[in-house]
């Protein structure tokens, strides 16, 4: 036992281990990284949204919606709501006739009119991206970036905690070997 002269006076704080300091520093670093990650996710989502809107505007200027008339009858395969390719016909703004192949949902009969988008050469193309689709794309990117980043940061934190726990357990084991004989009254 230590005499009262050897004891250190109580300062109101417990002594800190090196592993406590490492854990505190890592917590601050990972918290700062998480905040930067959130900022990066938001900026990435906004940037992707802006790019998608610009691309949609460009596509809307280069593409024209037209009403096409389906030429052939559907060949149902028993599944409803399936996308199928169908022959169609439309007349452009200057009166030229065009035969095209369009993708339609379901089984509209021959003679039905459906909407399609064509480029300047009269080829059928995909519809331009809508504003809602651009929002969904940007939000999905932001959420995806955040999830992936938090998985990486969480893995780093768990790995660090595991290493610190092993180190603390080893330190406690060594300390117990030193203290136990004195604590239990058993001498070596």
pLDDT in tens, 126-156: 888 999 999 999 999 999 999 999 999 999 9
Q: Model pTM? A: 0.68
* Residue 50 confidence (pLDDT) above 50: yes
Q: Which residue has the higher pLDDT, 137 or 97?
A: 137
Q: What is the mean pLDDT of residues 64-85?
A: 79
Residues 6+ apart with CB under 8 A from 52: 129, 133, 134, 137, 138
* Buried residues in 131-151 as b, exposed as e (16+ CB within 10 A): eeebeebbeebbeebbeebee
pLDDT band at 8; cut points 50, 70, 90: low
Query: Which has more pLDDT, 86 or 44?
Result: 44
Round to whole Å and give the CA distance between 40 and 33: 10
pLDDT > 60? residue 2: no
User: Measured in whole angstroms, how far is the alpha carbon of residue 188 from the centre of its chain?
Assistant: 60
Give the separation between CA 78 and CA 80, rounded to whole angstroms.
Answer: 7
As a whole-number percent, the residues of the chain with pLDDT over 90 amount to 48
């Amino acid at each position: 036992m230590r005499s009262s002269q050897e004891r250190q006076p109580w300062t109101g704080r417990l002594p800190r281990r090196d592993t406590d300091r490492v854990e505190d520093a890592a917590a601050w670093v990972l918290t700062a990284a998480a905040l930067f990650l959130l900022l990066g996710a938001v900026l990435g989502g906004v940037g992707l949204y802006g790019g998608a809107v610009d691309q949609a505007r460009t596509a809307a200027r280069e593409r024209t919606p037209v009403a096409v008339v389906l030429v052939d009858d559907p060949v149902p395969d028993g599944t409803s709501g399936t996308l199928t390719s169908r022959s169609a016909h439309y007349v452009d703004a200057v009166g030229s006739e065009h035969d095209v192949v369009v993708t339609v949902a379901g089984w509209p009969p021959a003679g039905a009119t459906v909407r399609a988008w064509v480029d300047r050469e009269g080829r059928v193309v995909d519809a331009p991206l809508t504003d809602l689709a651009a929002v969904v794309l940007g939000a999905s990117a932001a959420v995806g970036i955040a999830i992936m980043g938090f998985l990486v940061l969480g893995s780093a934190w768990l790995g660090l905690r595991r290493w610190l726990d092993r180190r603390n357990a080893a330190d406690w084991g060594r300390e117990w070997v030193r203290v136990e004989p004195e604590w239990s009254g058993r001498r070596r």
